[in-house]
Amino acid sequence: MTKIVLLDGYSLGLCDLSPIEALGELTNYEFTTPDQIVERCRDAEVIIANKTIISRATMEALPKLRLIAVAATGMNNVDLDAARELGIEVRNAVGYSTHSVAEATLCYALASLRHTPYFDRYVKDGRYAASERMFCFDYPVGQLHGANWGIIGLGTIGREVARLAKSFGCNVAYTSISGVTREERYQQMSLDELLEWSDVLSIHSPLNERTRNLIGRAELRKMRRSALIINVARGGIIDEEALAEALNKGTIAGAALDVFSHEPLRHSPLYELDDPNKLLASPHTAWQSDKSLKRLIKCITENIRTFFEEGVE
């Protein structure tokens, strides 16, 4: 029976794992540290991992390993060059969270522009009840209709965000970090042009050598002072120290982050903003709608099943 090891089961929430269990002998570890991987996977033919780092040394120590099923779309947790050299197949889950992440992106934009968290607290902490005024103008309320929405990375998620932004009446443009030029319904700009043009800028690119610290001090200074930047892709694409500085100086108006350079985010200048209301933050939740989690299990199951059906060596 095929031995399958899930290294970070917590990342799948309360999903039903029975479809995977039907494919072999599944051992589920809620969390695995780097020094535990080899011992736990010594007899494994298949490893399932979401964020657990699978290094060259780890793969070299696991001669029975044939497949790494990444429980995510991004594969930056696996040394892909080493896997290729060692003949280990790596398969990721594609498209399972497109709608969840795109909807979250719109949610962050609306909540940030309308300062929803602030006004919610204003009512619930008693300030509204104590006020003599019917309205509160502590923060200006923005709207999406008529706004310029710039997208970094017009892949599957980026296109869905573009479609949703268009439906809200936004003007949409994008830049391609890969340098690939395609026929698209949206205007393509250089990164510098997009930074200067955008009222809302959302990031949907993978983290790689081209995108690490893509948005730093110089880039933030090119943005409008009224602009909002949203990152639901990968931490490390925005220089967090530069972002905190830009928010404190008023270089840009606000930011919404679902991903961070280190997760969990333990120490960061983002925790020490002069005005915390300029930042809307969530703990990497954009992808994890209930429907996305079910689709993720289906993707993982299919990746394992088809690997063995194809007889990949």
pLDDT tens by residue, 209-243? 899 999 999 999 999 999 999 999 999 999 999 99
204 is an active site residue: no
| Structural domains of the chain, with CATH | 3-96+291-310 (3.40.50.720), 98-281 (3.40.50.720)
Residue type, 296: L
Pick the catalytic residue from 21, 60, 85, 263.
Answer: 263
Residue 219: its H or E element: helix 217-221
By C-alpha distance, which of 171, 185, 174, 160 is closest to 103?
160
**Catalytic residue, candidates 219, 234, 240, 295:** 234
Which residue ranges of the chain lie beneath pLDDT 70?
312-313
pLDDT at 74 (0 to 100): 83
- What pLDDT does 181 receive? 72
Q: Is 266 a catalytic residue?
A: no
List phi, psi (to 5°) of 163. -60, -45
Candidates 91, 115, 284, 295; catalytic one: 284
Q: pLDDT tens-digit profile of 257-301? A: 999 999 999 999 999 999 999 999 999 999 999 999 999 999 999
Active site residue 133: no
Percent of the chain that is helix, strand, coil (3-state, to 5): 40, 15, 45
